[in-house]
A and B are shown apart, each in its own frame.
Chain A
Amino acid sequence: DTEVTQTPKHLVMGMTNKKSLKCEQHMGHRAMYWYKQKAKKPPELMFVYSYEKLSINESVPSRFSPECPNSSLLNLHLHALQPEDSALYLCASSRGQTGSNEKLFFGSGTQLSVL
């Protein structure tokens, strides 16, 4: 199994809603990532978990709250988002933290629209 599975594929939410994005991998990877991607732009790193501990937070607003319940699962909790947060949210994993030789495995993403 070389897949990273993300749910839901599409999400529409209001600015007062609370929702969660889910990501799962069964490749035994110990690093997991959240990226945000706007249309026609490269992915922007948000968070990195390494061995289930948050190792990088790229100064993301607190309305985004990541959680790593175990080595296979990664969640992104959303609350009080703004319309400008509408984007494709990508989850990725790698064997360890990206270093000199680590490639990223990406999920298909959740297309989020904030109304």
Chain B
Amino acid sequence: GDSVTQMEGPVTLSEEAFLTINCTYTATGYPSLFWYVQYPGEGLQLLLKATKADDKGSNKGFEATYRKETTSFHLEKGSVQVSDSAVYFCALSGNTNAGKSTFGDGTTLTVKP
């Protein structure tokens, strides 16, 4: 079945540092890929998505590129802020498993001033 593997956390960075959170996936067909973010005490929010190979999703300075050859969708940001502290979930949604999104285990990011 489908699966998503995220780099283990937690990740602690200083403000303005470069961020990478690795995500790889296994899926049949051609899934769409997503990054969701969850701030403390809140639900998940879509951060960015990509629907086909070589697509780049971007939002709020975050970027991720759909790499079919390496089955990866790594999240990057050039300069993190304290307000980026949250839990980040990589997810996929494939048309062979309609109704079910598959989530990674989540990576907790803490940014220190």
Q: Which 6 A-B pairs have the closest CB atoms?
A: A106-B43, A42-B103, A100-B95, A97-B99, A98-B93, A106-B44
Across chains A and B, the number of contacting residue pairs, with CB separation under 8 Å, is: 69
The proximity string for A residues 19-57 relative to B, scoring 1 for CB distances below 8 Å and 0 otherwise, is 000000000000100000000111101001010000110
- Asked if A101 CB lies within 8 Å of chain B CBs, one says yes
Query: Which residues from B are CB-within-8-Å of A109?
Result: 42-43
Complex CA–CA separation, A101 to B101 (angstroms): 11
Seen from chain B, the residues whose Cβ lies within 8 Å of a Cβ on chain A are 29-32, 34, 36, 41-46, 49, 51, 87, 89, 93-95, 98-101, 103-106, 108
Given A40-B106, A43-B44, A109-B43, residue A31 in contact with residue B95 (CB < 8 A): no
- Asked if A18 CB lies within 8 Å of chain B CBs, one says no
Question: In this complex, which of A41, A100, A103, A105 has the most chain B Cβ atoms within 10 angstroms of its Cβ?
Answer: A100
- Asked if A75 CB lies within 8 Å of chain B CBs, one says no
Contact indicator B43/A101 (Cβ below 8 Å): no
Contact indicator B99/A31 (Cβ below 8 Å): yes
Given A40-B108, A42-B89, A42-B106, residue A98 in contact with residue B43 (CB < 8 A): no
Q: List 18 A-B contacts (CB under 8 A).
A: A40-B87, A41-B106, A42-B103, A45-B100, A56-B99, A90-B44, A92-B43, A97-B98, A98-B98, A98-B101, A99-B94, A100-B29, A100-B94, A101-B93, A102-B32, A102-B93, A103-B49, A109-B42
